[in-house]
Structure 1
């Protein structure tokens, strides 16, 4: 055998490792894991050949590839008489499923010109479905913010916005789906120009950030594909890091985003940034606030989240109105 041949026992261990623990991982990512964990360098082409012999294809395989393998398995099924072999082949056929790809759209010219934003509901670790709030720059494909929350919430998008403001600056525009977090219209509204700001859109208005919304997923294909990529890679990385709770997952994202962007984002010298200068932390905190109107009651206090608050002066003296 050639000197570069992978020993048979190592080959079998790699195949078993993929089947037992990483069957939801694409081949390129799995090759990176093998090199990081075991210092064994193999190409995704080699891994593809090994796993094809086991009737396994990448979860990111194209529809044509899935069809070719399915036709091959059906031919094998007709030639097989063993019940056990027939069941194995039928099981392999059942897990092959075609997926539709999102259409591409031209990239923006400048970094910060458009930030596509969305939340993805997924079982990121076993038994826990969280919503990953993501923001990606349309020009470079760089993930500029990410945050886990139990639901798609204002808190999640505020945390993503905070990461963008502190790490990059003020973007020109957000492109999002049509959720009430970003915009709403009152029923039977006689005037289209009435103030229908949500908390998030009001914060954007104060910073001069435009918001565009759409109900068509293909219109913001970059963030939709990014969600698919994260759903493919991130659960594996969380499992490798032994993450079991949402707080640890959000801490892990900080280091993971840097590694992810180094690998996949476009770093072109010709791509200029149109991010405005970062505001002060005090202004950011005052802008990304939840505004809750309250009335002072007859006891000269207000109620917020089942707690009473009494107005005082800077010296701590009670104020009675």
Structure 2
């Protein structure tokens, strides 16, 4: 009972015991005399329980059924695991027909011990930047390295473009890595769907900013392929010096990492093509959910110039000089140029090799586009391919416990590209086998307590007798000291040290000479 109900119980007991009148009790409780008579009648009939409110302990009419609560918890733990509460509320309404508010879903999951995987960071002081007034005035670009397919497929990179005015994503795609071709494909998708933007906002990635300015002639003074393409399109490039500077695309990446991963999981995507297909279906819903209207309805995207070939701009361009046989070298490939209506030979001319996004290789000479073909290989290259392709014979796996190394087989001689030349090929597999056997023998010797390496002089029992004979021959002049050192298998300095010690100890016979250990320092 509450304190108020306890006070009423005490006053009513006083009325029943004729200690106070009904009028006095009504004044004490702040009630009318008629209402006090009503409470007193209920108290006489039901006891102290009549003083409590009638709805106490009753389940509300608008309460969520217990079965629905259990269903939401079960779906969250099994099918929609790892999805934040806001996204889960939308998926329950779209896929399961369970229409609940986000606070209700959050309250159900928190009571079940299921917290949201997306936690809020502690607040920090930030300054807002005014959005661009028109759509297409500024695009923020970024790449997101994330385990998008989880354990179902390869590691992918999301390349994303976000409009600064509306917060929508005009285009996005998955690539194997963050490179120039990926960003050129991203810009091509934006231009084909919306138009040419006025400016792009990027970070300091090597794709956007050259780290070897002035070293590569094909980069034209340090410009990258990306900046060269933007210059031809008339798009301004702005480099950000921190991730917070382009926070709109960074926050969009966080949203994609949360929602798109769940969408890919629900769709069962496991390849790059399937991921891009799911991404194409996800972008319209993302723009509808998170897009905001621009301050000015007019679009700042400008249409592509009809006279300009977009494929010739968004590609990899490098300058080359044509050889005397009308071939152009490009990254290890030899491209053959054929005569045209303008020139019969392009030998010595400066041309531009274009590697298109679809993989084609074209050559541009002035305003003419040439379609080259793979040039036939030279004879020297064919001979080099034969010389560089030895046949490796499969061998059984060696037994590391075998102490006896295999017999070395003479390596066959492979004829080289020049007459009288030869190339000796050493099989790396056989070298690894021999190395494993040697290491196994060393481990076996250490385990048995044996010394690894050349034995000491004192450990050779026949050395004293050989040394005595050699000393006699040296004394007769029939053998030099260097020849004696070679016969004994020791160094010249070691032999000299032994002879000096023998001369100092004249009282001891040569056969009982105390020998110092041979450390092998003279070899």
* TMscore range, shorter length: 0.7 to 0.9
Q: Distance in 1 between matches of 2:63 and 2:304?
A: 53
* Greater shift in the superposed pair: 262-271 or 206-215: 262-271
Q: For 1:142-181, what aligned pairs fall within 5 Å after superposition?
A: 142-181=168-207
How far has the Cα of 1:132 moved from its partner?
Answer: 0.5
SS in structure 2 at match of 1:291? strand
How far has the Cα of 1:4 moved from its partner?
Answer: 5.2
How far has the Cα of 1:188 moved from its partner?
Answer: 8.8
Q: Of 115, 118, 137, which aligns to 2:139?
A: 115
* Bigger radius of gyration among the two: 2
Compared with structure 1, are the counterparts of its residues 277 and 35 closer, same or farther at alpha carbon in structure 2 (3 Å cutoff)? same
Question: Which structure 1 segments of 5+ residues have no match?
Answer: 65-98
What's the C-alpha RMSD, in Å, of the aligned pairs?
2.7
How far has the Cα of 1:5 moved from its partner?
Answer: 4.4
Instruction: Provide the residue aligned with 2:417 in structure 1.
Output: none
1:30 aligns with 2:54: no
Q: Does the 8 A contact of 1:310 with 1:318 survive in 2?
A: no
Q: Of 71, 76, 84, which aligns to 1:18?
A: 76
Q: Does the 8 A contact of 1:168 with 1:278 survive in 2?
A: no
Q: Of 206, 212, 217, which aligns to 2:232?
A: 206
Tell me the alpha carbon deviations over residues 43-81 of structure 1, each in whole angstroms, 9 at most, x when there is no partner.
1111110111123322333346xxxxxxxxxxxxxxxxx
Q: Distance in 2 between matches of 1:221 and 1:101?
A: 14
* Greater shift in the superposed pair: 108-117 or 252-261: 252-261
Q: Does the 8 A contact of 2:181 with 2:315 survive in 1?
A: no
Q: Distance in 1 between matches of 2:185 and 2:213?
A: 30
Tell me the alpha carbon deviations over residues 218-241 of structure 1, each in whole angstroms, 9 at most, x when there is no partner.
111111111101001000011111
* Greater shift in the superposed pair: 268-277 or 283-292: 268-277
TM-score after normalising by structure 1: 0.79
Q: Distance in 1 between matches of 2:192 and 2:182?
A: 16
How many residues align? The count is 282
1:292 aligns with 2:318: yes
Q: Which has the higher contact order (CA 8 A, sep 6+)?
A: 1
Q: Of 264, 268, 276, which aligns to 2:290?
A: 264
Q: Of 141, 145, 149, which aligns to 2:167?
A: 141
Q: Distance in 1 between matches of 2:121 and 2:206?
A: 36
Compared with structure 1, are the counterparts of its residues 7 and 109 closer, same or farther at alpha carbon in structure 2 (3 Å cutoff)? same
Q: Distance in 2 between matches of 1:57 and 1:284?
A: 49
SS in structure 2 at match of 1:147? strand
Q: For 1:177-192, what aligned pairs fall within 5 Å after superposition?
A: 177-186=203-212
1:274 aligns with 2:332: no
1:58 aligns with 2:84: no
How far has the Cα of 1:143 moved from its partner?
Answer: 0.5
Q: Of 97, 100, 114, which aligns to 1:39?
A: 97
SS in structure 1 at match of 2:187? helix
Q: Does the 8 A contact of 1:103 with 1:221 survive in 2?
A: no
TM-score after normalising by structure 2: 0.50
